[in-house]
Amino acid sequence: MFKSTLLVFLAAALAQQHHQQQQRQAQLPPTTTPIRGSWGLQAVDAESAWPLVSDKSEIVVAVIDTGVDVDHPDLASAIWRNPGEIPGNNIDDDGNGFVDDVNGWNFAHGNNRLDDNHGHGTHIAGIIGATGQMAIRGVAPHVRIMVLKYVDPKRPGADPLLSTVNAIEYAVRMGAKIINYSAGGKRPSKRERDAIEVASQAGILFVAAAGNESSDSDLKGYYPADYDLPNILSVTAVDPERRVLPSSNFGARTVAIAAPGERILSTLPKGKYGLMTGTSQATAFATGVAALLMANREGRIEPQMVAQALAMSGDVQPNLKFKTRYQTVLNAKRALVMHDRATSATGLVVEQAEMLDPRLLDPQL
Ligand SMILES: [Ca+2]
Ligand SMILES: [Ca+2]
């Protein structure tokens, strides 16, 4: 059952050419100067947003993917540590059913080895939370990344769908606030949907890739992005001119928002850097902005409020009509400003229509 691996392979197929052609020249020499030149980071106004972030809450982001190079110099200090687990003693210290799960778990092979021999997961992790200690920063440089490996394209293990469900359940149990799922497939699964619904009840935002099949997701479903659950934020990809990529899925009803996804610079295994393209990368940008927004709040914030804030505060792009529900491109600064202003004295989030482009009020327009 390859359902949940589809996007990884499709993204890989797209990215592979970039990978092979550009990885060499894109590998950056070691430098102590942070490189902030990623067009994606600029396009979502991340640096303008950082001064607005108060880091009231530590945001744990579960990256369900191909693993992560947890020793990468730009990721190492951003990796989540399980506070109840003593590493390397072969004992399940916190009694959660996983032995020595210090940074996450490998659900493909049932062990705590999180190495990424594909590159996809490390790239996603970098977009979300690279620290800039060596070369590049992610959108939310203070997150904690919980590494949940669900598939290894080079060494297939457990059914990717089952691994996905198990990884979601782990993220819920271990306190993640956001799940980044840069993968998917055409067939829905009740088990997968149920797991995401449980995550929703736990207050977890589930950010999912719209998929790289050039198709209209309103007509051809793509899952988990298209499950009708309030905590799912479906993300498609745009180029620097803010056009949806020819390879990206779209949907006026099913796809919420667009974010940068073409030739995105991020981290790769073994301390390297490189470019990848696809809705996977766009998804990671949205996850990063959601993390910034959630970091500004103490206590629980409903995931659908975060999803709505991201989608409605984005930069309006008329050419996204018929492509996404809100016709917007992710913008970190506007998401933070709008969300802060829309938070009433009682702590309830209210919509302030006067702040919004009127077109956004009716997604059908
Ligand atoms: Ca454990
Ligand atoms: Ca242990």
Predicted confidence (pLDDT) per residue in 272-284, tens digit: 999 999 999 999 9
Tell me the average pLDDT across 251-267.
96
Contacts of 197 (CB under 8 A, 6+ apart): 229
129-146 pLDDT, tens digit each? 999 999 999 999 899 999
Tell me the average pLDDT across 24-36.
42
Structure confidence at residue 343 (pLDDT): 53
Q: Which ligand places an atom closest to the C-alpha of 95?
A: 1
Structure confidence at residue 341 (pLDDT): 66
Spacing, Cα 76 to ligand 1 middle (Å): 20
User: Is the pLDDT confidence value at 348 over 50?
Assistant: no
Tell me the average pLDDT across 92-109.
98
Beta strand pairing call for 144-149 and 104-106 = parallel
Domains of the chain: 3-361 (3.40.50.200)
Structure confidence at residue 7 (pLDDT): 44
Q: Which ligand places an atom closest to the C-alpha of 94?
A: 1
User: Is the pLDDT confidence value at 11 over 90?
Assistant: no
Residue 354 identity (one-letter amino acid): E
Name which of 19-28, 118-127, 188-197 the model is least confident about.
19-28
Tell me the average pLDDT across 259-266.
95
Tell me how far apart the alpha carbons of residues 16 and 325 are, in angstroms, rounded to a whole number. 30
Instruction: Kindly state the helix (H) or strand (E) to which residue 123 belongs, with its residue range.
Output: helix 120-129
Residue 35 zone, left/alpha/beta (φ > 0; ψ -120 to 50; rest)? beta
Tell me the β-bridge partners of 236: 258
Instruction: Kindly state the helix (H) or strand (E) to which residue 361 belongs, with its residue range.
Output: none
Tell me the average pLDDT across 287-316.
94
User: Regarding predicted confidence, which is higher, 33 or 246?
Assistant: 246
For residue 64, which phi and psi values (nearest 5 degrees)? -90, 110
User: Is the pLDDT confidence value at 347 over 70?
Assistant: no
Between the alpha carbon of residue 283 and those of residues 25, 31, 156, 272, the distances in Å are 25, 28, 24, 21
Could you list the active site residues? Answer: 65, 120, 280
Angle (CA) 328-277-33 rounded to 5° is 90
Spacing, Cα 85 to ligand 2 middle (Å): 5
Spacing, Cα 116 to ligand 2 middle (Å): 22
Who surrounds ion ligand 1 at CB < 5 A? Answer: 85, 92, 94, 96, 98, 101
User: Is the pLDDT confidence value at 359 over 50?
Assistant: no
Tell me how far apart the alpha carbons of residues 93 and 299 are, in angstroms, rounded to a whole number. 27
User: Regarding predicted confidence, which is higher, 158 or 259?
Assistant: 259
User: Is the pLDDT confidence value at 33 over 80?
Assistant: no
182-221 pLDDT, tens digit each? 999 999 999 999 999 999 999 999 999 999 999 999 999 9
**What sign does the CA torsion over 89, 116, 191, 281 have?**
positive
Tell me how far apart the alpha carbons of residues 225 and 164 are, in angstroms, rounded to a whole number. 13
Q: Which ligand places an atom closest to the C-alpha of 87?
A: 2
CB 171 within 8 A of CB 98: no
> For the whole prediction, is pTM greater than 0.75?
yes
Between the alpha carbon of residue 353 and those of residues 342, 350, 357, the distances in Å are 10, 9, 8
Q: What is the DSSP letter of 33?
A: S
Q: How far is CA 312 from the centre of its chain?
A: 18
For the chain, what is the mean pLDDT?
Answer: 86
**Structure-block tokens of residue 321:** 């009509």
Spacing, Cα 98 to ligand 2 middle (Å): 9
